Chains A and B, each alone.
Chain A
Amino acid sequence: MTTSRKPRIAVVKLASCDGCQLAFLGLGEKLLELASQVEIVHFAEAGPLGALTDLDITFIEGSVSTREDQDTVHSVRRQSRFLVTIGACATSGGIQALRNLSAGNLLSSVYPSPEYVDFLAHSTPVSSEVGVDLELWGCPVNGTQILTAIASLLFGAAPAAERDKVCLECKRRQIPCVMVAKGIPCLGPVTLTGCGALCPSFDRGCYGCYGPSENPETPSLARRFAGLGLLPDDIARRFLFVNSQAPAFLAEGRRWTKEDRHE
């Protein structure tokens, strides 16, 4: 970026839990270093609430879940040079997109006075409304990913996208496979890394927070889950979770969902 003023950065929130903002905030000292090089215009969890105008990089957390979210997304897109989604919600609709799969009246089963709640029928990713320049997956994202993206964008380089599967990262960290050694169902073989294989390092299977990897062989993995004793609905729930609307996970989840199953 060649302008003499400091690049203007914003972090915008839609329907979300704020966890991605907190991951950003968790960078600590590195955030201070960043603050010396850019102007942080708007970042609710960190304090600044400046007007969302004339932005160089805008990070969006959260899914498009209300009409207000729709308006925000379009307005921010017009004001931003680079628009970057952070996290599962902004990138694939997030956990709240589970309502997209629900046929019944979800609202009244959750809220005692649903008449006060006004939201869209579906929770959708930012890319369903406007063009997005970069998508960072994760639930939440990790701060280092955001920082690396900023560093690249500030110096005019295309950010290097994560592309490997969690399995490869697990093996690089020399974490023995939880599925092979413990029989724990794990989405690692079909999930993009970026988390550093966090859950397997604590003896848990991968939850798929970072969304489908390239070439995700979900049918074979789902059959393996069945071999480990998961019932069809359990298998469906593994795929229809944090990133239920990511096409590869949605398709596999539907194959194992009762109403979609053709037996």
Chain B
Amino acid sequence: MPEGSQGFLKRERLQDLFDLLVRFGFEPVGPRVQDGIIVYAPLSGPEDLPWGVRDLQDPGSYRIEPDLGERNFSWANGPQALKPFLFAPRDTLWESRRDISGPLSFSPLSPPNRRLAVIGVRSCDLAALSLQDRHFLKGPFPDPFYKARRQDLLLIAVDCSHPARTCFCASTGDGPEARSGFDLALGELDEGFLVRPGSDLGRTLLRELSLAPPAPGMEERLTAQTDHAASVQERHLPPGEFRHDLVSRPDHPHWAQIAARCLSCGNCTAVCPTCFCFSEREEPALDGHHSLHVREWDSCFTAGHSYLHPAPLREDTRVRYRQWLTHKLGTWHDQYGRSGCVGCGRCLTWCPVGIDFTDDLPRLLEDPDGG
């Protein structure tokens, strides 16, 4: 197999990939079925992966069911993306101490040192990762917790073959094929995986696997499968440039219609792979000399998020939802040069009342005055 090109890994040889990751000092994590849901969890070997499972996703509903085949990735995505691995839901950032006579002192803390290899990363999640990298690492003050976790992260992507009904990555331009940002990428066929490298480490790993070249026709079948995964997607964003229309009509009556359904629970923001808001608080010890400073996920749907003394700026659901969507699809462009939506569809599926913004968006873009 020539350096840098694809190799073919038979499904029976998946264990070799796990062994290799462990030999290189990585802890494999990836998808596994836990209590009826595909979650990311530590994997001891290929037996822990989903086998012959697919997911049925609709706005407000997620189920898995057996699939006829024996594939490991014949499903779209679960509630988690890469976000919890890097921007953890809760971190203790520093600790402050005060001696009876001495000054107040602060000690920075750091995250536990884990070298994770994430198996099964989708293209939408890689696109989201690139946005989170930009947010947490590229500014004047890189986030030390995110940075520490990011530098030890190995990514093994999978081309999406079975998008859910809630998926629209083809419309945002972020999938279904994994194009960059991974160390290795797998294209799954019935008989195994086409493996291609995306980094120097990936090239080393691929060499160690010493794979045979793909059999004739395999690459064409993978391309056709990926094309199909794009063409079957039912949802999409409105065509063309719409962000100005979205942002410039804060009083559009349709915002109130969405608010009548929205629970303001923040689930959409928690499952969104690009949302990055957090709050911070002190956890003082009883002795009065010691306190921990904790950061945890917040959401623009909470009162605390817009609290400026003496009250929240965004009191009701209408303005909270409007803040979320206009930021995600509108002002995100000004901050990060692109939309904050990667088309993963998690905010549709995991909304307890099934709000589907791809359905509401055309109405929000209609001129309320009928012009």
User: Which residue numbers of A lie inside 8 Å of B, CB to CB?
Assistant: 30, 33-34, 37, 147-148, 150-152, 154-155, 157, 160, 163-165, 167-168, 171-174, 176-177, 179-183, 186, 188-190, 203, 214-215, 217, 219-221, 223-224
CA distance A180 to B63 in the complex (A): 8
Q: Tell yes or no: B352 within 8 A of A by CB.
A: yes
Would you call B262 an interface residue if the criterion is a C-beta within 8 Å of the partner chain's C-beta atoms?
yes
Question: A174: nearest residue on chain B (CB-CB)?
Answer: B84
Whether the Cβ atoms of A151 and B284 lie closer than 8 Å is yes
Query: CB-CB < 8 A to A214: which residues of B?
Result: 303
B286 touches A189 (CB 8 A): no
Bound complex: CA A188 to CA B264 (Å)? 11
Chain B, residues 36-73, CB within 8 Å of chain A (1/0): the string is 11010000000000000000000011110000000000
Select the stretch in B106-114, B118-126, B266-274, B360-368 that faces chain A: B266-274
- Please tell me if B233 contacts chain A, counting CB pairs below 8 Å: no
Question: A41: shortest Cβ distance to chain B, in Å?
Answer: 18
Chain B residues numbered 273-321 whose CB sits less than 8 Å from any CB in chain A? 281-288, 296-299, 302-304, 315-317, 320
User: Residue B261 contacts which of A163, A172, A173, A220 (CB distance < 8 angstroms)?
Assistant: A220
B286 near A180 with CB under 8 A, answer no
Q: B284 to A152, Cβ gap below 8 A?
A: yes
Provide the residues of chain A in CB contact with B89, threshold 8 Å.
Answer: 171-174
Question: Contacts of B138 on A, CB cut-off 8 Å?
Answer: none
**Given known A165-B266, A174-B39, A174-B80, contact A180–B350 (CB-CB < 8 A):** yes
B265 adjacent to A188 (CB under 8 Å): yes
B3 close to chain A: CB less than 8 A = no
* Chain A minimum-CB-distance residue to B349: A180
Given contacts A150-B286, A189-B263, A215-B316, 7 further A-B contacts (CB under 8 A): A151-B284, A163-B304, A167-B266, A171-B267, A181-B63, A188-B265, A220-B261
State whether B270 touches A168 (Cβ < 8 A).
yes
The answer to whether A221 and B35 touch across the interface, beta carbons within 8 angstroms, is no
- Whether B352 contacts A224 by the Cβ 8 Å rule is yes
B-side residues, CB < 8 A to A, are 35-37, 39, 60-63, 78-80, 84, 89-90, 260-267, 270-271, 281-288, 296-299, 302-304, 315-317, 320, 349-353
Distance of B149 from chain A, by nearest CB (Å): 15
Specify the main secondary structure of chain A where it touches its partner: helix
Complex alpha-carbon distance, A160 and B304, angstroms: 12
CA distance A220 to B262 in the complex (A): 7
Q: A189-B263, A215-B317 are in contact. Are A224 and B285 (CB under 8 A)?
A: no
| Bound form: Cα–Cα A190–B317 in Å | 12
Out of A37, A152, A177, name the residue touching B79 (CB < 8 Å). A177
User: Are B353 and A220 touching (Cβ within 8 A)?
Assistant: yes
Q: Verify A164–B284 contact, CB threshold 8 A.
A: no
Establish whether residues A34 and B317, one from each chain, have CB atoms under 8 Å apart when the complex forms.
no
Residues on A with C-beta less than 8 A from B284 are: 148, 151-152, 155, 157
Q: Which of B63, B80, B271, B286 contacts A37, CB < 8 Å?
A: B286
* Chain A residues whose CB sits within 8 angstroms of the CB of B263 once the complex forms: 167, 189-190, 217, 220-221
Task: Give A213 Cβ to nearest chain B Cβ, in Å.
Answer: 9
8 Å CB contact of B283 from A148, A154, A172: A148
Residues on B with beta carbons closer than 8 Å to the beta carbon of A165: 264-266, 302
Interface centre among A163, A177, A203, A214 (most CB of B within 10 A): A177
A188 neighbours in B (Cβ, 8 Å): 265
Contacting residues, chain B, for A215 (C-beta < 8 A): 264, 303, 315-317, 320
Residues from chain A with Cβ under 8 Å of B298 in the complex: 164, 168
* Cβ contacts under 8 Å, B39 to chain A: 174, 176
Name 6 interchain pairs, CB-CB below 8 A, sorted by A. A163-B304, A167-B270, A168-B302, A172-B90, A177-B62, A177-B267
Closest to B90 in A: A172
Residues in chain B near residue A190, CB distance under 8 A: 263
Q: Tell me if B62 and A181 are in contact (CB < 8 A).
A: yes
Q: Taking the nearest CB of chain A, how far is it from the CB of B35, in angstroms? A: 7
In whole angstroms, what is the CA distance A227 to B84 when docked? 31
Contacts of A221 in B (CB 8 A): 263, 352-353
A151 to chain B: which residues have CB within 8 Å? 284-286, 288
Chain A residues whose C-beta falls within 8 Å of the C-beta of B63 in the assembled complex: 181
- B37 engages A176 (CB within 8 Å): yes
Bound form: Cα–Cα A161–B60 in Å? 30
* Cβ–Cβ contact B286 & A167, under 8 A: no
Contacts of A147 in B (CB 8 A): 286
Q: How far is the CB of A178 from chain B (nearest CB, A)?
A: 10
Residues of B within 8 A of A148 (CB): 283-284
Chain B residues positioned under 8 Å from A154 (CB to CB): 286, 288
Asked whether A168 lies within 8 Å of B299 as measured between CB atoms, the reply is: yes
* Bound CA span A171–B87, Å: 13
Q: Closest chain A residue to B266 by CB distance?
A: A168
Contact in complex: B262, A217 (CB < 8 Å): yes
Residue on B nearest A155 in the bound complex, by CB: B288
**Cβ of A34 and Cβ of B286 under 8 Å apart?**
yes
Min CB distance, A135 to chain B, in Å?
Answer: 17
Nearest neighbor of A157 in chain B, beta-carbon distance: B284
- The 7 closest A-B CB pairs, nearest first, are A171-B270, A189-B265, A172-B89, A167-B265, A189-B263, A176-B37, A217-B263
| Cα of A215 to Cα of B84 in the assembled complex, Å | 27
Q: How far is the CB of A199 from chain B (nearest CB, A)?
A: 15
